[in-house]
Amino acid sequence: MNVRSFINGKLVMELNDKPEEPLTPQKAQGRTTQLTPDKAPVPVTARSLPPVSEHQKKSSLVALVASRRFVAVSLPNCPQCDNLAIALAARGVPVSSVLVKWEKGSPEYPALKAALAVHAGDCFTFPQVFSDGVYEGGYEEVLGKLKGGVFDALFEEQFDATPATVQRWVEDRPIMIFSLPHCPQCDELRAMLQSRGVPTEKIFMKWDKALPEYQSLKAQLIKMIGHSQFTFPQTFVKSKYQGSFDEVAAKLTAGQYDDIFADAFGALPLAPQCSTLCEQIAFDEDF
């Protein structure tokens, strides 16, 4: 310890070079620092977790949708879910990789259902489907898109499933004619068939080039007809390709489709008509 004193009227500082005594265990015991209650470490088990936000509640559904290109959310004992599974399997989709079943009794179900209601509305049924992160709808809507070939390209890319939508259309109808909007030859063939009593609304299918599925449908058609270059309309009768517009029009005029018209639609063949010259010759022979 340093000491200050006056010597002959002057302030003098005397330095104390004596080293400080080391603490003995007995002295150290009296100098132990005590932690205040607010500084004492809290056990992990006593820490309170932060409240769960709405974003966190939805994260399970968001993560599910983001993890798969196609996902169908379903429930156990759900007939519509089973029907959708059958339709997917028929298109070469591995059902186990796209169908996710939720359990109503699980603790997570209320939050998952609330997250799904953001897309499907407050009142909905299962299954509910997403593709490439986009909500596609419920059972009826998705089944219609399946039949329309909306997911053909996705299934082919993701699951190596061979698309067969066009083939199904051809096989499901006695006559199938694919057409386009603003197609003069399509309109002409339609008029020819209507004059024969054929219900053209049942056999014509108009494609839209602007729709995403058009390229996949066109590729399927090219594979079926064996031509990469073609014009519309394209006609199939009893699942057999009939050729271009000119070929079909010639067969129609020659009566090659009369039997199928009669069997499928009850349309009678046209009665033969005599020309004026034919009538004159017949009249002359009577004399």
Cβ atoms within 10 Å of 130's Cβ, excluding its own: 22
Spacing of C-alpha 197 from chain mean position = 39
Residue 24 has pLDDT above 90, yes or no: no
Pairing assessment for the beta strands 175-179 and 204-206 based on DSSP bridges = parallel
- List, in order of start, the domains of the chain with CATH numbers: 54-159 (3.40.30.10), 165-265 (3.40.30.10)
φ and ψ at 175, to 5 degrees? -135, 135
For 81-141, give the DSSP string: HHHHHHHHHHTT--HHHHEEE--TTSTTHHHHHHHHHHHH-SS--S-EEEETTEEEESHHH
- Residue 21 pLDDT grade (very low, low, confident, very high; cuts 50, 70, 90): low
Tokens of 270: 């046209």
- Residue 268 pLDDT grade (very low, low, confident, very high; cuts 50, 70, 90): confident
Residue 58 has pLDDT above 50, yes or no: no
Residue 65 has pLDDT above 50, yes or no: yes
User: Average pLDDT, whole number, for the chain?
Assistant: 84
